[in-house]
Amino acid sequence: MKIACVGEAMIELNPDRAGAQIGYAGDTLNTAIYLARGFPQAQVEFVTVLGSDAMSARMEAFIRSEGVGTSCITHHADRLPGVYAIATDAAGERSFSYWRNQSAARTLFEDGFAQLEGMDVIYLSAITLAILPPDVRAHLIEHLAQHQATVVFDSNYRPRLWENEATARKTISAAWEVTDIALPSVDDEMALGGESDPVEVLKRFRAAGFTEGALKCGSAGAMPFDATVTAPPYAPAPRVVDTTAAGDSFNGAYLAAVLQGASEAEALGRAHLQACAVIAQPGAIIPR
């Protein structure tokens, strides 16, 4: 099975971390790594654009070291990877500062979508769409509508990345229309859809016909879209240090499970445990 995770890889600065304070992460890269860990038999490829600099080379080596393929990564002659810094409060909630406006990843798919050919599964997020020029993101959604792959989407809604809220809502709605497995977070969807209750968001997705995937609701666990599935009991996280990549790691573990034939309930349980393990340690990528 060939799986493409599409998006931006960034340099992660974590000044509060003891020891190594520089890492590599990004929402779809995080998912790719946890997916590869949970499904080592699959060929998980990361699709992005990096620079031609030494830091890009180190990042690419790191990606390979995590069992994620780099054959679909291209390199820009002049641009560099984006950078972000993490700050966490006493409860482990994180905030970010970004330097990414001229990142190499913003040139992804300028020459077409050859990197996606032959893929069985394509995973992307709204961050992937937001960093692309409007015409490229529109053509990408059109391409996904015609592609034979299973499309997996997470509406990671980051308002600062979009031209305006109306554009974000329209684009993300179009992405849902070509999606087979939906993995949204409740806060993102309430911000986009205007609901004030997770149950209302769940009703919207079920009315749209989604039966694969789940609505992530933070510490409360995830609500399956398939109304016939009973969610497993979600134990509270025993320790919260840094919530970075909680949803990304959930997505990776969930996909690793369902793509190997696990039931929805089992996949949700595994994904919840993975997210709990990630938020117990600093940074997006925890040790194996």
Do 118 and 2 contact (CB within 8 A), yes or no? Answer: yes
Q: Are 249 and 31 in contact (CB under 8 A)?
A: yes
Closest CA to 250 of 264, 238, 268: 268
The encoded tokens of residue 44 equal 């998980």
Helical spans, DSSP H, in 147-183: 165-177
Query: Which CB contacts under 8 angstroms, 24+ apart, belong to 14-22?
Result: 14/85, 14/86, 14/282, 14/283, 15/85, 15/87, 16/86, 16/87, 16/88, 16/282, 17/282, 17/283
Write the CB contacts of 288 (distance below 8 Å, at least 6 apart in sequence): 37
Closest CA to 221 of 270, 174, 280, 162: 270
SS3 of residue 160 by DSSP: helix
Beta strands at 10-13 and 22-25: parallel, antiparallel or unpaired: antiparallel
How many beta carbons lie within 10 A of that of residue 137, not counting itself?
21
Are 44 and 69 in contact by the 8 Å Cβ rule? The answer is yes
CB 87 within 8 A of CB 98: no
- Of 27, 154, 188, 248, the catalytic one is 248
248 is catalytic: yes
Compute the distance between CA of residue 248 and CA of residue 156 in angstroms, rounded to an integer.
10
Catalytic residues: 248
